[in-house]
Structure formats: C-alpha cells, structure tokens
Amino acid sequence: MQRLLFPPLKALVGSPCLRLLVPRAAPRTQCGWSCGIRHSLRPGQYSTISEVTLQSGRGTVSLPSKAAERVVGRWLLVCSGTVAGAVILGGVTRLTESGLSMVDWHLIKEMKPPTSQEEWETEFQKYQQFPEFKILNHDMTLAEFKFIWYMEYSHRMWGRLVGLAYILPAAYFWRKGWLSRGMKGRVLALCGLVCFQGLLGWYMVKSGLEEKPDSHDIPRVSQYRLAAHLGSALVLYCASLWTSLSLLLPQHKLPETRQLLWLRRCAHGTAGLVFLTALSGAFVAGLDAGLVYNSFPKMGESWVPEDLFTFSPVLKNVFENPTMVQFDHRILGITSVTAVTVLYFLSRRISLPRRTKMAAATLLALAYTQVGLGISTLLMYVPTPLAATHQSGSLALLSVALWLMSELRRVPK
C-alpha cells in the first residue's frame, strides 16, 4: 500500500509516460541557469514534462502533472474511504447508545485505554456521575460499561487515523512539489475540515453530558450538534471523493447539447437531494424518531399524522418534533428515489459512454435498495444491524451520485 500511494521519485520520473528529458546541451551565459534565464532550445529537447528549473545550483524538479494527479487521486480515494468508515462506525456508536461513555477528551492521553481493574473502576465511576448513568443505565455492570466504552473509543481512535491519513501524506506531497497551486488550497481546506470535525465531535458529546433538571427525557446529544457533526463529515467525504474522481477518471468529450445540459443539472440536483436526505437522518437518530410510527406507507392510521405541528412556533416542529422529523425523512427519501428514477430515464435518451450508463444504472439500483432497507428498518423497530446497513447505504448512494456527476462534468476548453 505504501509503494502504491507514495512511489519513490525515481520510479515516477523513470516511468515510460513520465520520462524526464533535460536539455542535452545548452550554452551557458555568464549568469547561466542560476539567474533563472531561459534559453531557447531546439524542438525535441523536452518531452512530456511540466518544467525543469535549476535555482542557486540546486535542481528543483517539477514532476509531470499526470503522474502527480494519479498519486494524489489515489491518496484522496483512500482518505474518503477512511471518512466513510468513521461515519459508519459513528452510526453504530449512536445506535448502541455508546457515545456518552467517555466523559472527557484528551488528544494524546486517551489513546491508552484502561488496562487494570483499578483503572476500569475509576473510568466507570466517572461515567456514573453523569445523567445517562443516573437516568438510563443505573443498573449497568462494569462488563456492560466496557462494551459501550470500547465502542466510543474505537470511533475516536478511528477519527485520529483519519486525521493522520490526511495530514501526513499532505505534508509529504507538498514537500515533494506534487500539488498544483489549486490543489494546495483544496488540501489545506480538507485538512482543516478534519481538525474541525474532531472538535465538533467533542462539542456534540458535551451536549449529552449536561444536567437538565427541567427535562424528563432520556439523556442524548443535541440533534443540532449531531447533524452538524454528520454534515461536516459528509462534506469532507464528498469533497475528497469528488476531487479523487476528478483526478483519476478521464473526462468524456460529450457534445454539449440541451439534453446533456438538463441531464447534468438533474444529476446535481439529485446528488443534493441524496445529501439532504442523509443529513435529515441525523435528526431522526438524534430524536429516536424511527421509533415513533413503525408502519408504512401510512403513519399509524393516517397519511398525515395529527401531531405534526404540536410545537410552537411552527418551525420548531421541523427540527424537534419526532413525528415531523420522521415525516420529513420519508418525504425526502421518496423524493430522492423519484429524482433518481427520472435521472435514469433521462440518461437512456442520450448517447452516453458505457461507464456513464453503468453509473446511472448503479444509482437506480442502490436507490431502490436503500428505500427497501429504510422501510425494513422502520417496520422492524430499528434493529442495530439493519439500521447500520441503512446508514451505510446512504453513503453508497451518495458516492455513486458523485461518480455520475464526475462522468458528466464539462470538459474545460
């Protein structure tokens, strides 16, 4: 894996498609190359390279852009995979109600888990001081506590792995000069978002550790902070995957017709709907709204339940009323699968490359699979394995939507 992602400079320069040819002979002036003077060369003295300069007696080699793009693209593809893993593991942590088991946060100190019985007892005593134990888990044993603690610990450690997967290779590529000016800005933004994501995760956990004397509800993290945490993770995932696909997949030279323009806009809109549906799932999870109406297609005995607007002001229902939150998630899911279906049939009316057609067909199949998973999760009262599969399906659907958008992107002139 290391050789695949970070091939040595000699191997890159020596590859057939990236052969670096320096001038065979060029007359030196009094200043020579060290002064940065460009000399006119005969045709054929350079081949498939971006630039060769010598400054202050030392050679600074700028690698061929295509080789650097492939390496950076593969790196970002792996990074997006680690983010997907973090999202899935975070969903399982939430489903097993493990997220509040670690009641403090230390970047380095908490990397070492408790090893002795005394250390475990100390950790358990800290957990017992907070609302989740007092209200929900007051009869929990130490063995049960170890399970939820290790779930949260795994999620946090995976988050640190994600940070290292971004930051260390980014520094390496930057030092080697394999990042273009535009790519440097993207990489900086991605690394900054990774750090922000970690801080946002602890900010979310803190909301579930606060004492709320006026509340009789079970302790849980704020659904707003949960949605922000998931939303930033999805943005990080989409940005990494989109950049990776843009670097790795060759662009198709499609004729710019009105039908293609509509198809491209439809693909963008569909991807936005899939993203919004996945984000609304954070409010469903945060409020346990999946346990309110466990029937489909109706909600109970009616299509539109009577308790949609029980909170005041009305806008509060959208984010805090479990019935409205589940209703919105259903509507968004149905709208998304409808948009995917329309997108698929639009793609059938246009002559597209085989790979693009495959992306459209895969998106359609995943959309209906995701609907089936969602309905099954609801009817079976949200079992953890099925709910985790449903959450993972949203990432898969979003990934294929980005793949199709990448296939349809406009070729720069």
- 132-177, pLDDT tens digit by residue? 999 999 999 999 999 999 999 999 999 999 999 999 999 999 999 9
Give me the amino acid identity at 24: R
Task: Give the CA distances from residue 168 to residues 78, 234, 365, in Å, rounded to whole numbers and listed in that order.
Answer: 13, 21, 37
Take residue 22 and report the two structure tokens written for it: 């320096």
**Nearest residue to 205 via CA among 94, 75, 323, 362:** 94
Q: What is the pLDDT of residues 330-357, one digit of tens each?
A: 999 999 999 999 999 999 999 999 999 9
Q: How far apart are CA 209 and CA 374, in angstroms?
A: 30
pLDDT score, position 85: 97
How many C-beta atoms lie closer than 10 Å to residue 346's C-beta?
16
Task: Give the CA distances from residue 340 to residues 89, 252, 401, in Å, rounded to whole numbers and listed in that order.
Answer: 27, 22, 9
Band (pLDDT 50/70/90 cuts) for residue 42 is very low
**Nearest residue to 22 via CA among 57, 68, 59:** 59
pLDDT exceeds cutoff 90 at 224:
yes
Provide mean pLDDT across the span 271-275. Answer: 97
Provide mean pLDDT across the span 88-117. Answer: 93
Evaluate whether 283 touches 330 at the Cβ level (below 8 Å): no
Q: How far apart are CA 49 and CA 19, in angstroms?
A: 8
Phi (first) and psi of residue 61, to 5 degrees: -100, 125
SS (H, E, C) 26-85: CCCCCCHHHHCCCCCCCCCCCCCCCEEEEECCEEEEECCHHHHHHHHHHHHHHHHHHHHH
Provide mean pLDDT across the span 17-44. Answer: 38
Q: Strand, coil or helix: what is 304?
A: coil
How many C-beta atoms lie closer than 10 Å to residue 105's C-beta?
15
Q: Judging by beta carbons within 10 Å of its beta carbon (0-12, 13-18, 19+), is residue 32 exposed, middle or buried?
A: middle
Q: What is the pTM of this model?
A: 0.83
